[in-house]
Every structure is written in C-alpha cells, then in structure tokens.
Amino acid sequence: MTHSGSSLPDLPNSTSTSGPMSEIRSPPPDRVLEIVLENVLHFLTCRRDRNAASLVCRSWYRAEALTRSDLFIGNCYAVSPHRATSRFRRVKSLTVKGKPRFADFDLLPLNWGANFSPWGSALADSYPWLEKLHLKRMSLTDDDLDLIARSFPSFKELVLVCCEGFGIAGIASIAANCRLLRVLDLVESVVEVADEDEEVMDWISCFPEGETHLESLMFECVDCPVNFEALEGLVARSPFLKKLRLNRFVSIPQLYRLMHRAPQLTHIGTGSFCASDDVAVGDQEPDYASAFAACKSLVCLSGFRDILPDYLPAIYPACANLTSLNLSYADVNADQLKPVILQCHKLQTLWVLDSICDEGLQAVAATCKDLRELRVFPVNTREEVEGPVSEVGLEVISQGCRKLQSILFFCQRMTNAAVIAMSKNCPDLVVFRLCIIGRYRPDPETQEPMDDGFGAIVMNCKKLTRLAVSGLLTDQAFRYIGMYGKLVRTLSVAFAGDSDQGLKYVLEGCPNLQKLEIRDSPFGDAALRSGLHHFYNMRFLWMSSCKLTRQACQEIARTLPHLALEVIDSQEDKADDHIEILYMYRSLDRPRNDAPKCVTILQ
C-alpha cells in the first residue's frame, strides 16, 4: 500500500529497476508529481497544514504520510500505536499526550491508564531512527525508559512533562545508553526516588565519559540528592550545554561552581538557592553575583526552591537581560521583589507567588512593559475572604502590561470591573485563566455574579483561545462565551452555572472548542446532547460531579460510534443513575483494554 519513501520506489510492474543504473533514469510520468509533492511537503512543518494536505486526495495522503517526520498524538487513546505507525512510516519525532489535565488535581484514579508501554514497543519496531520523544501526562516505567534507551541509536531528545511511574533507574539507563543525547528534560514529573534511608542511585555518574552532546538537562523534579562532583564533571565536559535546571538538593555555593564552569548557559534553574547544611556560621561565602555576571547569555531564571531572600540580590547582574523569571517557589514579599523586578525591563514571562502582594504586582506593571505571560500562584490555597493579591493587582497589571498574552491568576477576591479593565487594556490576550479560590464568590463590591467580567473578556479579547472561569457564575456567563468565544479551544469550568442551558450555550456557540473540562456544575443530560454535532471535533470532554446519567451516556455512545465514553465511578447499584465522572474522547480504534475496574467504557 505505501511506498518505501525513497524518490524512486519499486513499482510492481516495472521492468527497469535492477541495478544502480536504474536510479539514473527519469521516473515514470505518473510518479513525477508525487515526487515533486513529497519534496515540497518536506517543507510543510505545521501539523494542521499537513492534515489539510492529506485530505486533498489519495496520493497527497500517501505523500504526506511518508514525509511527516514530526508526529503529534494529542490523546494516546485516540489512535492505537499500530494505526499510527502504519500510516506514518518515517517519524523521527513523536509527541504523545495521555491523561486529561484534571488528573493533575487527583480527580482521576491513580491507575487509570495512559501507559506508555504499548507505544514503546510499537516505536521500537517501526521507528528505529527515532530521535525525539515528548510525553505529557503519560505513565511510564523504568522498563519503558530502558527500552527507549536501547532501541534508538540516534536518540537525541527526551522530554517528560507531568509523567509518572518511573524512577531513578530509568533515568540512569537513558543517561548511560543514549550516546547522542542532547536533551533530557524531566519537568513536573513524579519520579519514584528511594526513601531517605535507602541508597540513592547515582544517575549522573551514568553519563559516559568524554565530551557530551548535552544541550539541555532539566531534573528539577527528581527529588533526591545528586552526586555533585559527578554533576560538576558532567557540566565541565558538556560544551554545548545551554539549559540546566537543578533540583533543590543543589545549594547555592554548588550553583556558583556550576555557573563558572558553564558561563554559556542561557537557562538556569537555580536549585535551592540557599546555603547547604554544612556551611558553618561565619564561613566566607563566594561572591555569587559574579557567577551571574559571568553568564552573559542568561535569559531565563527559575528554581529558587528553598530561597533565602538574602541571596536574591546575587541575580542583579542578570536582570537586565532576563526574558523569563520563575519565582513561583520563592516566598518573597514586595520589598524583596522590587529591587529585582525594577531591573527586568526585558521580561516577557513572569511566574510568582502571591506573597509579592498587589504592591509587588504594581512594581511589575511599572517596569515590565514587554510582559507577555504572567502567572500568580497562591501560597495559601484555602478559601479565605481576603488574600494578598486582588482586583487591585490585576488592574495595575492590565494598565502597565499592555502586551499581555497569557495570564493565570489565583486570588481570593476579584471584581468585574478589574476583569473588564483587563479585557480592554490587554486586547492581545490569548489565555485568560482566573481562579478565585473561594467557590461561588460574587463580585465583593457589587454582589453581582462574575458574568460580566468574563463576558467582557470573550467580547474584547478577539484572539482568546483558552479560558478558565471561576467565582459566582450564572448561565449568562456561558451565554457570553457561546456568543463571543468563537476562537476558544480550551475551556475550564468549575462550580459554575445554573442549568443545562449554560452548557448548551457553549456547545452550540463555540465552533473551535476542542477541550472542555467541567467539574461540580449543574449540567445534565440535555446539555450533553446538545453537543452531539460537535463531539467528533473535540479532543476530549471531561465532566465530573455534574448531573449526567449513565443512560444518557449510553445513548450518546450508541449514536456516535467513534466516541469513547469512559464512566469513572466508584459505586455500582446506586439509587439513581447519576455518574461521577465522564471522560469522553474521539477514538478511531476499539476501546482500550487497560482500564481499571472503576472505569466503564460505554459503546
């Protein structure tokens, strides 16, 4: 069915394909167009463009399938590994995403699925030339990592985001066996580490001797001590290393040494950013600022996991060039932040804790005129009446940072006025995620629901593709979203809405909706049915603690055969038919067979 991928394929009825001389003869006329097409398609990198090209006709479909080298699987259960590897024969780089996002917040049972193993074996069989693997929210074991390490001699990049199930042994195998490794990024993953009293495997020492190809090494989430001597040696023999993100077991004096070893670093995760335990009182400490001055290409700083704010001034030399600063683990107040932030004129990305208060946000707004992304995380996650950041901070940010594109803001109180102001001041907003921690909170000034604020966002921010809502919201908010949120692709809803009508507005009004996650909202069967026309266009729908019944889900499963409806419930034989969690996604293949007992897949 498919060609081998070379420019001159073997035709079944060809008479002149023996020996090297046949390569020189021009191809048959009906193949010319395909060859041209394949060569042209090589330049097509965007997967949406490729998807479109593949729909033109069969030969374009084939050509596109042969030339796609970057494969993106948005939902690991949407297609089987076999289907993917059968269609795309020359994949060098693969991205697979597994669990839905609400798994991050413990809403999904631990052993729900998203196991990498079936993909691993399929890849090992079909793509021995594989170079890059990027996994998000997948469950993979040490054996899986070992398989990756041993199956792909050209392997260059491993990026694991929000993954789990593996431990140090797996990482060590990657380090030891992937000789051409350039990127090893372990981000926000849960890594099984030894207990405090057990021996910790020294994975850093598993990297081979001699110069490495390492360009990026991120192990912030590997929560166990590392052999610093080995790490220093590794950094010293990695001349291409640009990105280094350390875990909290690396102290600031150790960071100092590493930075002097690798002044070419552009991205640094600073580790603990405090002194190690065995520094005695009165010890002479090195001039940490000199390290930051030495790294003249530094543009991105993160880490600060156990920061001693006294040390923060050490980063001053780097501030003027910083485009990205992540202080979201650093409990610093406004006074500690200001001297730093007032120097960060080029900052585009800032992640902070709300410990900086509205006052700190004021300083950000005053200086960071180029800010594109802001995330403000809460120190205290309990529902309070007041908090350190509020509508005041949001409003000053909107006034100072007009180029803002993405915001994630946790707070205890927010007004419609501030949100409306942001919608007008920041027309470039693509991502607006506001989390008022207290559920069902109205506008504290007017006692109104937060409908108008979010309505203004969808109305005025014409580029908006991602929205997360909170606070007291009626169906009206969803009416606005349905009316104006025409580009919205991802919508997160929690504790909001009055009736089925709310969800209906969204499902009927948002043609680009792909990811919808809803929890604890009064949307029921009628609302779900209103999306039948659209569900095949979506990557997934998540509804937990809503008003759905199993019967309605069953009907939908029968109506739309390529839809997998996973009902996750901990009870059977209940008095009513209501279900706890519905996770629904389109799928070309048979329902998965690796689901735990609490998951029922309706078909």
Partner 1 sequence: MMDESRRRMGGRRRSHHKFSEERELELRLGPPGEEQEQQEEQEEDCWSHQHNENKGERNSDDSDQSPLSLGYFSAQRIYNFQPKASSFLQNMSMVGKESKDATSSQPCRSEVMEFHNGAVCAEKKPLSSPSSANTAAPNNSSQKRSAAGPVVGWPPIRSFRKNNASGSTSKPPLGSHHHNQQQHHHHHLNLNNVEDKVANTTNKELVNNISGTPNKGMFIKINMDGIPIGRKVDINAYDSYDKLSSVVDHLFRDLLSAQRRNSCGAGTVQKQKQEEEEKTMILDGSGEYTLIYEDNEGDKMLVGDVPWHMFVSTVKRLRVLKKSDLAALSLGGKQGHINH
Single residue of 522, 554, 560, 589 touching partner 1 by CB under 8 A: 522
| Amino acid, single-letter form, for residue 204 | I
279 in contact with partner 1 (CB under 8 A): yes
Footprint (CB under 8 A) of partner 1, residues 146-175 = 162, 164-165
What 3-state class would DSSP assign to 55?
coil
When asked if residue 70 is in the footprint of partner 1 (CB under 8 A), the reply is no
Residue 280 as a binder of partner 1 (CB under 8 A): the answer is yes
Rounded to an integer, what distance in angstroms lies between the CA atom of residue 352 and that of residue 468?
A: 19
Q: Which residues contact 292 (CB under 8 A, 6 or more apart)?
A: 259, 298, 314, 315, 316, 317, 318
Pairing of strands 70-73, 349-353: unpaired
> Can you tell me whether residue 173 is helix, strand or coil?
helix
Q: Which is nearer to partner 1, 8 or 162 (CB)?
A: 162
Q: Could you say which of 180, 308, 320, 588 contacts partner 1 (CB under 8 A)? A: 308
Q: What is the smallest separation between the CB atom of 436 and partner 1, expressed in angstroms? A: 9
Q: By three-state DSSP, how is residue 464 classified?
A: coil
Q: Check binding of 211 to partner 1 (CB under 8 A).
A: no
CA 396 to chain centre: 28
Say whether residue 377 binds partner 1 (CB under 8 A): yes
Interaction of residue 205 with partner 1, rule CB under 8 A? no
Contacts of partner 1 in 382-421 (CB under 8 A): 382-388, 410
Considering only residues 3, 305, 466, 479, which one is a binding residue for partner 1 as defined by CB under 8 A? 305
**Does residue 333 interact with partner 1 by CB under 8 A?**
yes
189: nearest Cα among 220, 153, 148: 220
> Which range binds partner 1 by CB under 8 A, 28-36, 341-349, 435-443, 458-466?
435-443
CA distance 565 to 603: 7
Residue 345: phi and psi, rounded to 5, are -75, -25
Contacting residues for 149 by C-beta, under 8 A, at least 6 apart: 155, 173, 174, 176, 177, 178
3-class DSSP assignment, residue 593: coil
Span interacting with partner 1, options 41-49, 453-461, 508-516, 518-526, rule CB under 8 A: 518-526
**In this structure, what token pair is assigned to residue 316?**
């001053």
Contacting partner 1 (CB under 8 A), which of 217, 275, 314, 361? 275
Is 277 one of the binding residues for partner 1 (CB under 8 A)?
A: yes
Tell me: does residue 60 bind partner 1 (CB under 8 A). Answer: no
What is the C-alpha to C-alpha distance for residues 151 and 378, in angstroms, rounded to an integer?
A: 43
Q: Contact with partner 1 (CB under 8 A): which of 70, 370, 428, 498?
A: 498
Tokens of 98: 């597994």
Q: Does 471 bind partner 1 (CB under 8 A)?
A: no
Residues that contact partner 1, how many (by CB under 8 A):
95
**Which CB atom, from 87 or from 413, has the smaller least distance to partner 1?**
413
Is 575 near partner 1 (CB under 8 A)? yes
Q: To the nearest 10°, report the CA torsion of 143, 148, 150, 151.
A: 120
Identify which range of 3-11, 14-22, 67-75, 300-308 contacts partner 1 by CB under 8 A: 300-308
